[in-house]
Structure 1
Amino acid sequence: MPSTIKGILVAGVITVLAITAVESLNCTQCHSHTGSCLNISATECPTDALSCSSSSVSSSLGGTSVLYQNMNCSTQNCSEMNTLVAFAVHVSDEQRFSFSSQCCQGEKCNDTSHDSEGAEALSNTTVCPACYGNDTASCIEKDRQCYNGEQCIHLIAQFMNGTESKNLTLKGCSNISNSTCHFLSTGNQPVGDVIFHKVECLNASIIPTTQPSTSPQVTTTPTQTSTTSNTGMKAPLTALALGSILLLGLLF
């Protein structure tokens, strides 16, 4: 057998052995509208899957608590880095929206449902316009006092659920990073099951400090003082003169 054919056969066998030696990709596969996928075990992905993806939304807008999480196998190639997008938006003390999404190349993703949460301290100096609207392009704004490190955000997003979709307009104070804001601000940016049609980040407005008012000082002039003194002395002198005249009338 010619050496060229032997070389081709050897290379083919090595390639087959290398392919069979590669482990198949295992990802957590969970789609839940009621709870977390934290305790779901990873299962084997289809052969065309390149990465694992995870996205979650936690919301208390409108006074209703909602937790949505989707973890699955993905044909997306995110080998350059494990892309993580996570941020929260405060509309009021009771109304909050959190989003996180992650793409993990060749391995399962960790639970990201709490990556956008953190310790917060209320700032006394910054405010943002805040409101939300479902399937509307605008909403009625109210000032929201921000936490330290937050900036103003205005986003319009579309949430895909199979053949159904919902739109959300949202404004408020957010802990979104500048890099994440830049990534999402390109317009119509798909991340997981969400398409961010518009994302704008602005510095929070500074609350102007009120200066204490000072009462005007009243100055009493020397002229007013002397006038008062002279007026006070005229009364006894006039009475003394009248008394003298009466006394002279009685003597003569």
Structure 2
Amino acid sequence: MSLSSSLKSLLTVCVLAAFVASTVEESYKCVQCDQQCNEEKTCNSSHGCFSKKSEFNTTGLQPYTILQKGCSSSKCEPRAFSATLGVNHTYGYGYQCCQAEKCNKADFQVARKSSDPNGITCPACYNGEGATCQPTDLTCKGEETKCLNFTGTVNDVVVLFGMGCATETACNLKDVETINYIKISTYCVGSSNGSPQLMSIISSILTALFLLKVLI
């Protein structure tokens, strides 16, 4: 066998070996579930596994939590944020990614709000039935250093509206699916610190623009 033929054969063997190795490495199982996490599904490693948790708390009521796990349908991008809306409502969200066999099996906790005031005040309110609410001053705590305005929609219809304190990671979200297929969009500014009227005006303008977009 000539040297040229030997090199070609060696190259072919190397290519086949690399192909087989990559084929073996490009699949693994992820836990897939909606509340009851006892199923497994083989995923493509280029996308990976995900775990998503939403937790909504209202003073005096049991926390409402949604947990989902599975294979990412596209590139997995981790995200975590929290917000305090009005004086009686808090919301925490976490989306984790990993790439290994059943790596999303373990449970995880959403961000917990600190009890330490951070010197920032925001106008805050919450309306679970529409697109407006009357804000009052709220003392922000921990890492919630931004004043947030948010809308929640289902099929482009506004079903939630709120204002309050939030982590910076909660700012500028666009159609992030949370509890009960509600998609939230957010806008943040710095602290009001004595100017809640200005924040209320900004909120009204943003709400009007959002509703105009929906109607159009």
TM-score by length of 2: 0.65
Query: 1:59-117, CA deviations, whole angstroms, 9 ceiling, x for partnerless residues?
Result: 13486531111111113224xxx62322232421x3222222223344624534x3310
Q: Tell me the equivalent position of 1:103.
A: 97
**Residue among 34, 56, 64 paired with 1:31:** 34
Q: AA paired with 1:172?
A: G
For residues 7 and 189 of structure 1, do their structure 2 counterparts lie closer, same or farther at Cα, with a shift above 3 Å needed? Answer: farther
Runs of 4+ displaced beyond 6 Å: 191-194
For residues 138 and 198 of structure 1, do their structure 2 counterparts lie closer, same or farther at Cα, with a shift above 3 Å needed? Answer: same
Q: Tell me the equivalent position of 1:56.
A: 53
Contact 2:26-2:44 at 8 Å conserved across structures: no
Match status 1:155 vs 2:150: yes
Contact 1:63-1:95 at 8 Å conserved across structures: no
SS of 1:103 mapped into structure 2: strand
- What is the deviation of 1:44? 3.8
- What is the deviation of 1:18? 0.9
Query: 1:23-45, CA deviations, whole angstroms, 9 ceiling, x for partnerless residues?
Result: 6333232212xxxx6xx467342
Cα distance in 1 for partners of 2:55, 2:151 equals 16
Contact 2:113-2:143 at 8 Å conserved across structures: no
Match status 1:198 vs 2:168: no
For residues 127 and 190 of structure 1, do their structure 2 counterparts lie closer, same or farther at Cα, with a shift above 3 Å needed? Answer: closer
Unaligned ranges ≥5, structure 1: 208-252
Q: AA paired with 1:3?
A: S
TM-score by length of 1: 0.58
- Between the two proteins, the alignment pairs up a number of residues equal to 186
When structure 1 is superposed on structure 2, of 164-173 and 127-136 the one drifting more is 164-173
Cα distance in 2 for partners of 1:7, 1:167 equals 64
Question: Over aligned residues, Cα RMSD in angstroms?
Answer: 3.6
**Residue among 79, 97, 104 paired with 1:84:** 79
Q: AA paired with 1:133?
A: N
By relative contact order (CA 8 Å, sep 6+), the higher-ranking structure is 2
Contact 2:86-2:126 at 8 Å conserved across structures: yes
Q: Tell me the equivalent position of 1:242.
A: none
Q: AA paired with 1:77?
A: K
Q: AA paired with 1:68?
A: I
Unaligned ranges ≥5, structure 2: 196-216
Cα distance in 1 for partners of 2:45, 2:183 equals 24
SS of 1:205 mapped into structure 2: coil
Q: Tell me the equivalent position of 2:132.
A: 138
For residues 5 and 26 of structure 1, do their structure 2 counterparts lie closer, same or farther at Cα, with a shift above 3 Å needed? Answer: same
